[in-house]
Amino acid sequence: MKMNNKKNLSVSVVIPCLNAEATIKAAIKSARQQQGIDLQIICVDDGSDDETPKILAQLAGEQVIEYIDSGSCGDAAWARNQGLALSHGEFIQFLDADDQLLEDKLYRQARVLQQSGADLVAGTYHYININGRHTTHSPGNDIWHGLLTSNLGRTSANLFRHTALTAIDGWTIKQQSSQEYDLMFRLLKNGAEVAIDSTVGTEIIATHGSISHSNEADNGHRFIALRRQMIAYLEQSNQLTESHQALYKSMYEETMARIKRFQKER
């Protein structure tokens, strides 16, 4: 598909992989099926001890993907940064190895970034939980409300401008949860503009081994700490409203109650 009097849209898809033998082929296929873009696919293995390295080496040999064997760091943010360093696309898609892109996701969102000049598209996605239940999540137009409530897309649902990511040195290493919201918070602090995509573009599939299910209490404390930083920034930049304060108080109370329930059940 040709762009009238405009340069081709180029997107690099970065896929961190850890023991993803059951899902990685489907994730890569969903990226390869994207139309209307110059596509680069980079897979970063992060110490898998299953068949993932063998699968990736074969696909790299067939020139389907570019493959980085990062050793055994075990940190998704570090792996994403490795892929980002190798990428050459104007726009960056971070795709988890158990998620899939839907038709025209990359072309549609890349055009939004190209035409609007924004640095980030917050995308709509289908979420499939570990019990197989499907829900649809759409970001709202209030950017800070979305950031505070984790309603500004997800890693695999969003698309980023390459230069905006490199300006903040990419992902925070060893950020064990709320990784994408730490990233987006730093982007916003650096002046990034956000566009909203209301069309479903990604299927995000929960797995029993995902970080979000590994330690509910620690994740909750990190969630609160990051939102406290957001409130402090809004206050310092004279953007804090009573609505933001009330929202943070409500989330704090709900999260602490969830942490106490989790600890009681253990």
Residue 13 confidence (pLDDT) above 80: yes
Cross-strand pairs, 43: 15, 67
When pLDDT is cut at 50, 70 and 90, the band that residue 2 belongs to is: very low
Residue 209 confidence (pLDDT) above 80: no
pLDDT at 198: 97
Give CA–CA dist 19/45, Å, rounded. 9
SS3 of residue 160 by DSSP: strand
Residue 156 corresponds to which tokens in the numbers above?
């695999």
Q: What is the mean pLDDT of the chain?
A: 91
Q: How many CA atoms are closer than 13 Å to the CA of 92, on its beta-carbon side?
A: 26
Do 129 and 206 meet the contact criterion of CB atoms below 8 Å apart? yes
| Across 196-202, average pLDDT | 97
Helices (H), the chain: 24-32, 52-61, 76-86, 105-116, 143-148, 162-167, 179-189, 216-236, 242-265
Do 95 and 15 meet the contact criterion of CB atoms below 8 Å apart? yes
> What pLDDT, in 10s, does the model give residues 41-95?
999 998 899 999 999 999 999 999 999 997 766 688 999 999 999 999 999 999 9
Give CA–CA dist 85/68, Å, rounded. 11
150 burial via Cβ count (<10 Å: 0-12, 13-18, 19+):
middle
Residue 126 confidence (pLDDT) above 60: yes
Give CA–CA dist 188/3, Å, rounded. 29
> What pLDDT, in 10s, does the model give residues 134-184?
999 999 889 999 999 999 999 999 999 999 999 999 999 877 788 999 999
Instruction: Give the predicted TM-score (pTM) of the model.
Output: 0.92
Residue 3 corresponds to which tokens in the numbers above?
């762009």
pLDDT at 4: 40
The residue written with tokens 């035409």 in the block is 115
SS3 of residue 20 by DSSP: coil
Residue 264 confidence (pLDDT) above 80: no
pLDDT at 213: 46
pLDDT at 7: 61
Do 97 and 27 meet the contact criterion of CB atoms below 8 Å apart? yes
Residue 8 confidence (pLDDT) above 90: no
